[in-house]
């Protein structure tokens, strides 16, 4: 299963607008997508509540995984969102 490890650069972490954009992008894909904080338990990246519950802050590392056709492209897009300042 392809994955991307990304350091979150946003001052608000993966909360509010960055989290909404991240979840909306993940939800558009017909793939299974998960995100985990560091080595923690992965959650559904298509669920805003699940993503917010990770409490990802600036400087934290997340691991994003997706499985299926187009996974690499989706992961690249999600990594850009998660790493945007």
pLDDT digits (tens, 9 = 90+) for 32-75: 999 999 999 999 999 999 999 999 999 999 999 999 999 999 99
pLDDT of residue 70: 95
Domain at 35, CATH number: 3.30.1340.10
Task: For residue 43, indicate whether it is catalytic.
Answer: no
Give pTM, 2 decimals.
Answer: 0.94
Catalytic residue among 8, 10, 13, 15: 15
Share of the chain above pLDDT 70, in %: 100
Domain that holds residue 25: 3-83
SS3 labels along the chain: CCEEEEECCCCCCCCHHHHHHHHHHHHHCCCEEEEEECCCCCEECCCHHHHHHCCCCCCCEEEEEEECCCHHHHHHHHHHHHHCC
Count of structural domains, the chain: 1
Judge whether residue 1 has pLDDT over 90.
no
pLDDT of residue 20: 96
């Amino acid at each position: 299963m392809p994955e991307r490890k990304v350091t979150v650069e946003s001052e608000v972490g993966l909360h509010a607008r960055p989290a909404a954009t991240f979840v909306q992008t993940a939800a558009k894909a017909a793939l299974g997508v998960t995100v985990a904080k560091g080595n923690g338990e992965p959650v559904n990246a298509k669920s805003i509540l699940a993503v917010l519950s990770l409490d990802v802050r600036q400087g934290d590392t997340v691991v994003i995984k997706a499985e299926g056709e187009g996974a690499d492209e989706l992961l690249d897009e999600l990594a850009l969102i998660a790493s945007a300042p």
